[in-house]
Amino acid sequence: MDIGSMTVRAAVDGLRARQFSSVELTRAVLDAISAGDGVIGAYTWVDAADALKQAAAADAARAAGATGLLLGVPLAIKDILNVEGQPCTCASKILTGYTSPYDATVIARLRAAGAVFAGRTNLDEFAMGSTTENSALQVTRNPAAPDRVPGGSSGGSAAAVAGGMALAALGTDTGGSIRQPASFCGCVGLKPSYGRVSRYGLVAFASSLDQIGPMTKTVEDAALLLRVMAGRDPHDATSLDRDVPDYTAALTGDLKGLRLGLPREYFVAGLDPEVARRVQEAVARCRQCGAEIVDVSLPHTEYAVATYYILASAEASTNLARFDGVRYGHRSAVPATTPIEMYLNTRAEGFGLEVKRRIILGTYVLSSGYYDAYYSHAQRVRTLIRRDFEEAFKRCDALLTPVSPDPAYRIGETADDPLKAYLIDIFTVTANLAGICGLAVPCGTTDAGLPVGVQVLAPAFAEGTLMRIGHAYERAREVRP
Amino acid sequence: MAAEEIDVAYVAQLATIRLTDEEKRLFQRQIPVILAYMNKLRSLDVTGIEPTSHGQPVYNVLRDDVPEPGLDAERVLANAPSRLGAAFKVPRIMES
């Protein structure tokens, strides 16, 4: 069994037809991890015995007549989502020793559909970063070029899927953390609309921006997984009560009648010429599939990165206040005579440099005297950015853009200049600020063989439109290479 | 209110984080550069613009106040770095 080419759809069909069992399939995934992950470093944790036990239970359930949509399908999970009985490190030393006492809602839904949780994948600490280099645990390498980063923060999930060590994975996306690593590694990544998927059991980074989404080999697989993951959850008041359609029904294969916008602010100087060329080729393919292409403007794009880093850092500084060494995770062994001393020592030892930098930045923009100038002002600019998209979507059904200005960076290339590292998120943070949905689909490689992704953006809760476009493009690309 | 005014050591205290001298020096150099970049937002007039605080507008989501079981206490306490019976053990918080 070749895990590198196997999709979730193929696994579901093969399991249903009894061509192979979940134990055989899960063993093949575990073998692929054993063979490949020594170099790539995608997984932070794998428990082979437990995965095979879950797989055997799925096989027994099938033998007894069970028919879950994902019955027996092994998945990789970003190490920031709680899976009962598994560690959840967030790639931080501060969660050393923590075992999840419960399932995140997405995990509970996937479990109810029969999924097997085979392993956990690396990330930038608490999802803060765009290269996975901020992990306190290990380096993850890009399967297409092992001297390069996989992108981030869901770099482990992207590397596992693109590196043939997972059928599919879950990632999380606060400012591009699903779409950018998918683009860097060459897989599909979907950031659902804010409120589409429950965040309960996702360790919070920036609560007004975070979403959980699938990272897969095909758009169809993303559609299959989202159907299971999406929907209102009483445990997350921000999850919305909207119908969850069968997204695979949207995969018609053509784009007739759709109008796709090219935001001129996303095709500018600073965009790598090879990335620009691959994205323009993708635009041409979409036109061949029947879409009408129009120019649109998102005039506040240049303010998006500043807005994002003010709001995300502010929310992070409050969310991460809970890591104090009292209830779980690391507690400093330095003797403390007061709780405050214990907090200070624990947080000094437990958090990495980027997390500390963002907590300081976030605390500052929320502090008395600066709140209005930074935080409150940025919330208002966020409204302007949201309105940009509302205006653009009056003229088109979806937007086509690059995912990232560059292909994957060399390991260490962006490490010394935090502002430069933040600016590479320019094309992805806008979707989180506006609450809309976004999809990254592979659109070829550079001459050096580095994957490039095209981003499709659609209005909130128009995931069906995203998938229709992504799927039609994917097919057109395969038929006419 | 120039961005350069940030006192990293003071903000670290507000954030309950102890920084090493090296971290303080690094952040004192880096964060003003980031804040200077963020100040580009000041050029935008946002008079009369409502703030957006969430990805989708939802307000006052309520549920009936019905008791339901929570997480199993023993499994939650199993994660405690230090415990005393059914409680989390911490350094003394009051004078004896």
Query: Does A378 map to a domain?
Result: no
Token pair for A184 = 């860097």
Q: Give the gyration radius of chain A's Cα atoms.
A: 21
Write the DSSP symbol of residue A233.
B
* Chain A contact present for B35, CB below 8 A: yes
CB-based contact A379 B53, cutoff 8 Å: yes
Q: Sorting pLDDT into bands at 50, 70 and 90, what band is A479?
A: low
Query: Does B30 map to a domain?
Result: yes
Give bridge partners of residue B87 from the DSSP assignment.
Answer: B84
Q: Angle between the A8-16 and A22-40 helix axes, to the nearest 10 degrees? A: 150
**A104 and A202 in contact (C-beta within 8 Å)?**
yes
Query: Would you state the pLDDT for residue A425?
Result: 96
Query: Does A151 map to a domain?
Result: yes
Query: Does A298 map to a domain?
Result: no
Q: Which residues of A touch B54 (CB under 8 A)?
A: 194, 208, 238, 435
Q: Is A135 a catalytic residue?
A: no
Query: Does A412 map to a domain?
Result: no
Sign of CA dihedral B28, B33, B38, B39: positive
CB within 8 Å of chain A, chain B residues 75-94: 75-76, 78-82, 88, 90-93
- How far is the alpha carbon of B73 from chain A, nearest alpha carbon, in Å? 10
Predicted confidence pLDDT, tens digits, chain B (96 residues): 444 589 999 999 999 999 999 999 999 999 999 999 999 999 999 999 999 998 887 788 888 999 988 888 999 999 999 999 999 999 988 876
* Chain B contact present for A324, CB below 8 A: yes
CB-based contact B41 A238, cutoff 8 Å: no
Query: Does A46 map to a domain?
Result: yes
* Residues A391, A179: Cα–Cα separation, whole Å: 24
Query: Would you state the pLDDT for residue B1?
Result: 44
Domain residue limits at A134: 8-250
- Please pick, among A153, A313, A317, A404, the residue that the annotation labels catalytic: A153
Q: Which residues of A touch B42 (CB under 8 A)?
A: 373, 377
For A13, the 3-state DSSP assignment is helix
Q: Which residues of B touch A363 (CB under 8 A)?
A: 11, 14-15
Query: Does A31 map to a domain?
Result: yes
* Residues A128, A152: Cα–Cα separation, whole Å: 8
Q: Is A153 a catalytic residue?
A: yes
CB-based contact B79 A101, cutoff 8 Å: yes
Number of folded domains that form chain A: 1
Residue-by-residue DSSP string for A418-440: HHHHHHTTTTTHHHHHHT-EEEE
* Chain A contact present for B37, CB below 8 A: yes
- Please pick, among A92, A130, A177, A313, the residue that the annotation labels catalytic: A177
**A158 and A190 in contact (C-beta within 8 Å)?**
no
Query: Would you state the pLDDT for residue B61?
Result: 84
Query: Would you state the pLDDT for residue B95?
Result: 73
Does the pTM surpass 0.95? The reply is yes
Query: Does A188 map to a domain?
Result: yes
Q: Which residues of B touch A234 (CB under 8 A)?
A: 63
Q: A286 phi and psi, to 5 degrees? A: -65, -35
Of A194, A327, A347, the CB nearest to B88: A327
Number of folded domains that form chain B: 1
Domain residue limits at B16: 1-44
> Among residues A316, A324, A321, which one has the least CA distance to residue A344?
A324
Query: Does B56 map to a domain?
Result: no
CB within 8 Å of chain B, chain A residues 427-466: 432-435, 460
Query: Does A290 map to a domain?
Result: no
Q: Is A177 a catalytic residue?
A: yes
Query: Does B57 map to a domain?
Result: no
* Chain B contact present for A313, CB below 8 A: no
Token pair for A268 = 């500018």
CB-based contact A339 B91, cutoff 8 Å: yes
CATH of residue A105: 3.90.1300.10
Query: Would you state the pLDDT for residue A481?
Result: 43
Amino acid (one-letter) located at B29:
R
Mean pLDDT score of chain A, rounded to an integer? Answer: 97
The pLDDT tens digits for A139-197 are: 999 999 999 999 999 999 999 999 999 999 999 999 999 999 999 999 999 999 999 99
| Chain B: residue whose CA lies nearest to A310 | B38
Q: Angle between the A105-112 and A219-229 helix axes, to the nearest 10 degrees? A: 100
Q: The complex's ipTM?
A: 0.94
CB-based contact A328 B81, cutoff 8 Å: yes
The pLDDT of A265-274, averaged and rounded, is: 93
The pLDDT of A430-457, averaged and rounded, is: 98
Of A367, A381, A433, the CB nearest to B41: A381
